[in-house]
Chain A
């Protein structure tokens, strides 16, 4: 066990955990931010995507100690009420089916749009490697483009 300082959604936390514990579990089970999901635990599905600074990372594959003292953003920190332009685009296109992958998809898309405000289909295919088993891919593409237009 170790005491680790984290900044999540601009708020400071001090957690007392095994430093090797994946960031995902700290976010979900220690801090209680359950918007970030578990889908595989081996960086394959993207359900656990959060931001460290502006980069999308898969929190299931990051030991919590390596995220110490950095700025972490989860889906809950994107906006208080779903008003982030990417969330609004998602709602407008009515993307989710079961919705389980969507927090991860949105976090990946937000990071993509920060780097590339007008992504082509190829750029989307390249950066969006998250799995949606319900098959909402086409609507996710539409929502990313809608958010890009609105930005």
Chain B
């Protein structure tokens, strides 16, 4: 029988599966500089991608110094080891969007190696080049092409090397499955063999020919999730699962409300507990203990009094956002002209749209482990911005960036909600005092209260039609939520579109598709109502005002699959909406049913068409589109943060409702593969169509025009 107590468990540092052995050694020697990084890479051939310019490199040692100087302009690395395995180093991170797979696919394609030979080292500030962060759907359109170019440059260099070795022209050779093959003699040379005993750094060839999407054999296919099995066996180690030798668990004292400051505190009871350390500096108070339960108990024994200050509440939110707005600037002439046209029109509408704060609710809450060693700080944490967190930590402890290493194991999702490094900073502060590694895992309640929200927003929109049914004037003001997706995709005479930043009562930040979730909603509600005002079909009306062929393409594709012109059962309504964000296009159709007798509303089905250019992995793309649509469903129907006097009133999963199995309607997705158009990122855009499509379907079924998100916060009932 295994006898276990909290202190006897044996565990060691666990590296991500992908880390090659020689770099695991690197991770235990505390400092990895650029120079010893190259030494640690060992033999083989490597290429570095620059963000801006081409490096003219010759062979090894002096190069690494040149690199160190230009570290910030390097975007990624590919290295082929002597055993033929391939390491790709990128500062991007994996949070469930499956870029570990899609980036490996594009490298496998251009380098002509089996995908199993490729390992991605991601989001480690010591091992990977600088990256601003994984957000804004930027991995696929930016990192993807860069890696393709680097891989293709490597392939070319290997072909040339083989040509010399075999004394044949490079054109007689081809690269295939990690080998150079001589077509006429049938001779093969494995990549590793070709570079054995050498340390080659080759320049990237900016003019290299890339494989066209029509010829893709690995990219463009549904390669399953890399390391997928680790996620169905429980083997994958998230930050919250990691254990370091001698590690203790931390908890932080939180104020009861926004704006509260510590008036008095008594920590004696907590301090008296065995194995507990209380860390107290000004307003920051935390405890550590050998297990999470003891840490929580110790925290509960701290008696604190707080001074609170008046804070805005949900009831006055929208007046507050408007009153505190800073005017968005720009000239006012177009506004006056838009007003004049509006007043003169006989067909005009004015809407006031209210959008509540919502939470990301990543299922893995914020987590971090921090360890100090001879003044060096190493932190494992789930963040979309490991290099940003490195800077935060360096700033907080007055360290040089090189003294801080942030490592991001593949994380339990983010959706724009993990740009920051709160848990990392807290763990580092505690670890510095206790002299042991400290792990912090936020509770769900902490995640709801002290992370950040998608901004709330007030949107005022006024539109008028000309007699011929085209849009004469469009005036659009967004208070606080942001300007993503704020542009009108439709033709219009005079446009006045402004975003007015405001003071936010709650902490707010990035979110999937940002403010486009609010702006596209407001636009698509208005356009739908304009169509109905003219008694025109909402699809036909949209198409008559749109010139963008891709937007027209997704609208038609979604409508066809949905059966837009088809018969509706009594009480049923159809709705449609479209949006363009970050170079991709979504159109969504919804069918809802309204039971007059019981007031129940049901989302019967959703159909969406999506176009993001050439598709890298159809299955994973469909997963991302589905995931975004379903996250959109929560924000559309019922998600909203309730708050009063600076306190979050629904900080639990029993009071803040997220979509569950029973909420999911049948979903049908049409993916439009545009092989000749560069691939755009797909993690965000598909979210924006869900809410307006459902809202417009409700209007169709009931005649009720809703102007708020969420639409029906009381559950699937019209209020």
Contact = CB atoms under 8 A, between A and B. Distances in A.
A41 B443 contact: yes
Interface stretch (B56-64, B102-110, B358-366, B640-648): B358-366
B107 to A, nearest CB: 20
Interface in B241-283: 241, 243, 249
Contact of B653 (A34, A40, A101, A139): A40
B1, B9, B232: most-surrounded residue (chain A CB, <10 A): B232
Interface stretch (B138-146, B201-209, B476-484, B627-635): B627-635
Interface string A48-65: 000000000000000000
Contact of A98 (B11, B95, B235, B441): B95
A34 to B, nearest CB: 4
Given A15-B4, A29-B291, A102-B232, A125 B662 contact: yes
Contacts of A134: 96, 363, 413, 627
A76 B230 CA distance: 11
A78 B229 CA distance: 13
A96 B11 contact: no
Contacts of B364: 37, 39, 98, 100
B654 A91 contact: no
A96 B230 CA distance: 10
A101 B661 CA distance: 13
Contacts of B193: none
B233 A25 contact: no
Contacts of B3: 13-14, 16
Contacts of B412: 37, 98-100
Contact of B293 (A21, A35, A42, A75): A21
Contacts of A106: 232
Contact of A40 (B228, B236, B444, B626): B444
Contacts of B224: 91, 94
A97 B232 contact: no
B468 interface: no
B653 A124 contact: no
B191 interface: no
A40 B243 CA distance: 21
Contacts of A102: 231-232
Among B6, B233, B241, B626, find the residue whose CB has the most chain A CB atoms closer than 10 A. Answer: B233
Contact of A44 (B238, B291, B410, B652): B652
B703 interface: no
Contacts of A111: none
A139 B626 CA distance: 10
Interface in A32-90: 32-42, 44-45, 47, 74-76, 78-79, 81-82, 87, 90
A41 B444 contact: yes
Interface in A111-138: 124-126, 128-138
Given A33-B234, A96-B96, A136-B623, 12 more contacts: A14-B3, A38-B441, A40-B444, A87-B233, A98-B362, A100-B412, A131-B653, A133-B415, A133-B658, A134-B96, A137-B659, A141-B661
27 contacts: A16-B6, A25-B292, A28-B241, A29-B6, A33-B234, A35-B235, A39-B444, A47-B363, A78-B233, A82-B233, A87-B229, A90-B232, A91-B224, A96-B96, A97-B97, A98-B411, A99-B232, A99-B236, A99-B412, A100-B363, A125-B662, A130-B660, A131-B363, A131-B658, A136-B626, A137-B630, A138-B664
Interface of B: 1-6, 9, 11, 95-98, 222, 224-225, 228-238, 240-241, 243, 249, 291-293, 361-365, 410-413, 415, 441, 443-444, 619-620, 623-624, 626-631, 652-654, 658-662, 664, 667
